Amino acid sequence: MRGSQSTVQRAKDELVAGTDPGWFGHPDLVDSWRRCVSQLGHPGELRSIPTVPESWLDDAPLELLREPLEVLTGSLEGSGAALLLTDSRGLVLERWFEDSAAGVHLDSVGSRRGADLRESTVGTNAVSLAVTTERSVQVSGSEHFSQFFDHSACVADPIPDPVSGETLAVITLTAPVNPRITFMRRWLATMRVHVSGHLAPRLSRPSSLRVEDSEEWALRQALSETQGDIARTCELLGLSRATVYRRTRRYRISAIGEVPYWGVSI
């Protein structure tokens, strides 16, 4: 938290009134508020969260990350927190929660599939700030520009494409304002490790299909391309049948042609 709620509110009130709160610091937050003043006007204007048409949503990040996020959601039981996945623009692709109270909180802040959490639409929030700064952030209570979110606390982390480095998606933990936001940040950091471990081998590509570049990737790619045909896989990789079977065991490929979960055990 960037000071007490009253301190944050004072700084935001000064900025909305046209005074630069240079004493407050936290330039990323102040810059976001400043953009919101020009785009949205007053913090009390927002009444509900708009949603975009289904055709606007690109589910590629959801398809890549659904598996680890669904598993990780189980660790949220009893926390009162919910998990959101947005695309790199800030459009909600999916939400997960274990506790009914977390679902109620999500509904109260309009966070459902298709919800538009872009800064230009709803003001400063953890998702939009993570997109803008390209780093892990937290936004709690009156740190949000819009009063609509004053009862919400969120931590968000941009997930970069391991090849291009550009933001692929944003994962967010959200809950009612409470003193556990530091705990939520640690929780999100753990999630990031698992998600990164899951994502990197799915998007990373060696320069050519050679075992010396990446034995495991090459073997999985070859098995996928040949649909598990051992003779064709051996021919493609230039390996003996015994070597192919040995490497399927080494890399825990449980069935020929199958490409199971990659990454850290969770």
Q: Does this model's pTM top 0.85?
A: no
pLDDT value for 262: 31
Alpha-carbon distance of 252 to 53, in angstroms, equals: 41
Give pLDDT tens digits for 56-97: 999 999 999 999 999 889 888 888 899 999 999 999 999 999
* Single-letter amino acid code for the residue at 192: R
**What is 51-100 written as a DSSP string?**
B--GGG---HHHHHHHHHHHHHHGGGTTT--EEEEEETTSBEEEEEESSH
Give pLDDT tens digits for 215-262: 676 677 677 777 788 888 887 676 788 888 888 887 777 554 443 323
Report the 10 Å Cβ neighbour count for 31.
Answer: 14
